[in-house]
Amino acid sequence: MTKKIKILLVVLLCAVLFAACNESLVEGEWAEYLINEHGAVLIDVREQSEFNERHAMGAINIPLGIIEENILNTVSDFQTIIILYCRTGNRSGQAKTILLNMGFERVYNMGGLNDWTGGFSSY
């Protein structure tokens, strides 16, 4: 392997690791702590039908497609800690970007519903 290829691989690996670290994923137990001790708001960004089947206890449902229009009805303080989740972490990652662009400063992606360590509810 040539030196240039090795350097390119190292740079690529560093970029991937930096991107992964920059996702601000928060683990389920840490999310529970932030909710219980710091008043964080837990938001499920899946569709209403998915939410009704099973969701994290205490979560509020604001689907990704309407989060920008509806978030201020639930969270009006831009300093509030917001924890987002969906099924796999993809939609919650998109929602995080939207909320950060709106000016919310403390937004975390918990990932998927299976990352939640607390109780569950359904309707």
| Residues forming the active site | 86
Residue type at position 8 = L
Contacts of residue 118, Cβ cutoff 8 Å, sequence gap at least 6: 28, 32, 56, 57, 58
Report the b/e string of 19-49 with b at 16+ CB within 10 A. Answer: eeeeeebbebeebbebbeeeebbbbbbbeee
